[in-house]
Amino acid sequence: MIDFGFFAEILPKLLGGLPLTLELALTSILVGFVLALTLALAQQCASRIVVLPIRGFVGLFRGTPLLVQIFLIYYGVGQFRPQLAAIGLWGVFREPYWCAVIALTLNTTAYGSEILRGGIQSVPRGLVEAARSLGLSRYQTYRHVILPLAFRQALPSYGNEIVLMVKGTSLASIVTLMEVTGIAQGLISQTYRAFEVFICAGAIYLTLNFAVIRALAALEYAMSRHLRRIPSMMSGGVAS
Amino acid sequence: MIDAIRLLGFAHGGWGPALLMAASVTTLLSVLGFALGAVFGALAAAGRLHKSRVSRALALGYCTVFRGVPDLLTIYLLYYGGSVVLTSIGHLLGGAGFVGVPAFATGTLAIAIISGAYQAEVYRGAYLAIDQGQHDAACSLGLNRLQRLRHVTFPQLLRYALPGLGNVWQLVLKDSSLISVIGLVELMRQAQIGAGSTREPFVFYIAAALLYLVIASVTGNAFYRLERKAPWRVRSA
């Protein structure tokens, strides 16, 4: 019943979409992280002129489907072609690739900034006061006290967000990008063997997400070294 | 701006009624998918907490696959796979030609399967959050299995699960937009139709985004009130 020949035939085709999937995921996650951190830090500022627009942006991008965001940027912004051409941005918004990257990045920025903001808020106030009373500057306090603790606190949630982003890249196929899901959809409509294609493409995504989860678990382990009571038991080395 | 208001209005030629109708389809699809997903989620959570190794492995497999694979792939699987199955049943019954699956039913099932995998984790966590003493006390009072479930486990489980269920609900609402790819005229699809026939995509996708925001905030508020005012609320000492 199981046709291994068919699997052998479609797997290379599906893997052909993997570079694009990885590219979309990595670009949006990395750029999104930088933007998310910027927004999370900016919200520590008390000024409402800074905080309110950020809250609006975050609310908009967390409250609407990613698909609407992609369509809004690809088709919606494209409506303003003459204006975009005038400022030299039409080249960017004409390409489905850049539209997908922009939508995915803004989406993960909104979610990520909330995760990081929560992490920063979880740092006990006493620690910040202690740092300040030791004479650390505002920058030093963030660099050496607040952010390391905030990152560790935020890591598990941020891991979930990364997995959601890897899954989210599949929506790029709707604006004609042939990443893994786009190729899978093409194969399904050609062969009508939905189950086999699903297993194959699904296995690619599961492997990818499994790798993400393991990498983050390793990172979390490395970041909580001081929380491990007896290091010698973990490493198996000789305690000094 | 005036054009946009006329376009989305309720007067003749306005798209307001169509968009509101589509928004109610989105809501209905999400509610039904979420409710059926609760059944799948409860079964999977029970499976993961069960003694039997087989049921644990099956439930874990279900949760891992549908939380790790893009929702779009799951939707394609059900849509195309369902059509193939229906067509072959049609051939067995002597019919000829292609039988398509109904988009609304397929969409509901897809949302149920995906959200069930997420809900299972919520229910499992909520069950584990119940203090062991509660089970012990219920046993020592002589309650039978059904009574323990009905009067002790279930009320507390629901209380612990509510915040997590609220998150899954928001996910479901946004996921329902993906059902547009199989042709169901819900909010996303209706916005596409409007954008296509008026050549005003920006107005229509903004309108769709705002309607999603409204549905999300109204229903999110309902979850919040349920959490605060529910009779099963855990009272602090």
Number of Cβ pairs < 8 A linking chain A and chain B: 123
- Assess if residue A58 is contained within a domain: yes
| Per-residue pLDDT, B228 | 79
Whether the CB-CB separation of A100 and A175 falls below 8 Å is answered with yes
Task: Render pLDDT for B56-104 as a digit per residue (tens, 0 to 9).
Answer: 999 999 999 999 999 999 999 999 988 888 888 888 887 777 777 889 9
Task: Render pLDDT for B135-169 as a digit per residue (tens, 0 to 9).
Answer: 889 989 988 888 888 888 888 888 888 889 999 99
Q: Which of B116, B125, B133, B132 is nearest to B160 (CA)?
A: B125
All domains of chain B in start order, with CATH: 2-227 (1.10.3720.10)
- The interface predicted TM-score of the complex, written ipTM, equals 0.87
- Assess if residue A229 is contained within a domain: no
Does B174 sit within 8 Å of A71, measured CB to CB?
Answer: no
Q: Looking at the partner chain, which of B70, B175, B208 has a beta carbon nearest the beta carbon of A181? A: B70
| Per-residue pLDDT, B230 | 62
pLDDT class for B5, splitting at 50, 70, 90? confident
Which chain B residue lies closest to A202 (C-alpha atoms)? Answer: B69
**DSSP-derived 3-state class of residue A176:** coil
| A82 contact B CB<8A | no
Interface of B with A (CB under 8 A): 64-65, 67-74, 76-77, 79-81, 83-84, 173-178, 180-181, 188, 191-192, 195, 199-202, 204-206, 208-209, 212-213, 216-217
| Per-residue pLDDT, A67 | 95
CATH of the domain at A141: 1.10.3720.10
For chain A, the domain total comes to: 1
Task: Render pLDDT for B182-235 as a digit per residue (tens, 0 to 9).
Answer: 989 999 999 999 998 888 899 999 999 999 999 999 998 888 888 877 655 555
| A221 contact B CB<8A | no
Does A192 sit within 8 Å of B73, measured CB to CB?
Answer: no
**pLDDT < 70 regions, chain A:** 1-2, 229-240
The DSSP string of A81-111 is HHHHHHTT-HHHHH-HHHHHHHHHHHHHHHH
Question: What count of other Cβ atoms lies within 10 Å of the Cβ of residue B46?
Answer: 15
The dihedral through the CA atoms of A139, A140, A146, A149 has a sign that is positive
Q: Which domain holds residue A147?
A: 7-224
d(CA B161, CA B169): 12
Looking up tokens 């051409």 gives A85
